[in-house]
Amino acid sequence: MIRLILFLLMLTPIANHMAGQSSTTTKDTKAKAILDKLKKQLDSYKTMEVKFDLETEIPGKPLETFKGTLIQDGQKYQVKMSDREIYNNGTSIWVYLKNQKEVQINDAEDGGEEFLSPREMMNLYQSGKFDYVLFEERKVGSKTFADIEFKPLAKNYDYSKIRMTVDKKENKMVSLRMFSKDGTRINLKLTQIIPNKKYDPSIFSFNPKAVKGVHIEDLRMN
């Protein structure tokens, strides 16, 4: 269940919910202008390193907070969090569950665990599967924050709405908040985005020699 939505994030993937569905969306022109500008900037990055905080609020349970880092180079990515790590070298995906001392390996083309980066998050508003509007603009000191609200057209979607906050002056995504129908709230805060660094390709593959006593479950077809 670890597909970070809007970076990567730990959620049921949007792509699966949207598959095969079509409808007419309501597009807010002010929201679209903000999103178009943000998408253009993210698409210009050859690589991206994103530091984030992920908060999960489940009714009746304590707030859970995780810190993590995503490094993405094209289709390859590495995600590191306190309880797990995910690696995708374009051919295979490794999910290292630290507490269980287990690594699950899948073929990349089979999906497995996927992390949705800020760049992929921007495909939300172009999918044709969401209504979206500029919910609010807020002044905080010298900054102006735009809150854009997405509502899925599919009635069987797990989330009633998604709210993205954008720093208009710096043209960057600040957070993504997801509202589940069961009362769960997931808040993804992007604390830093570092574009266009160069990375050794080896960081996108899991090195089993770096972890002692780990059990490897290889689910690849070949």
Q: 117-162 pLDDT, tens per residue?
A: 666 667 767 777 888 999 999 999 999 999 999 988 888 877 899 8
Q: Does residue 190 fall inside a structural domain?
A: yes
Q: Which domain holds residue 57?
A: 25-218
Q: Is residue 14 part of a domain?
A: no
Per-residue H/E/C for the chain:
CCECCCCCCCECCHHHHHCCCCCCCCECHHHHHHHHHHHHHHHCCCEEEEEEEEEEECCCCCCEEEEEEEEEECCEEEEEECCEEEEECCCEEEEEECCCCEEEEEEHHHCCCCCCCHHHHHHHHHCCCEEEEEEEEEEECCEEEEEEEEEECCCCCCEEEEEEEEECCCCEEEEEEEEECCCCEEEEEEEEEEECCCCCHHHHCCCHHHCCCCEEEECCCC
pTM: 0.79
Is there a domain that residue 118 lies in? yes
Whether 78 is in a domain gets the answer yes
Condensed to tens digits (0 to 9), the pLDDT of residues 47-79 reads: 999 999 989 899 999 999 989 999 989 889 899
- For residue 53, the domain's CATH number is 2.50.20.10
Query: Does the residue 41 lie in any domain?
Result: yes
- What is the mean predicted confidence (pLDDT) over 183-193? 91
Q: How do residues 88-118 score in pLDDT, each as one tens digit?
A: 998 999 999 999 999 999 998 765 444 556 6
**pLDDT of 16 strictly over 60:** no
Domain count for the chain, please give it. 1
The answer to the question of residue 9 being in a domain is: no
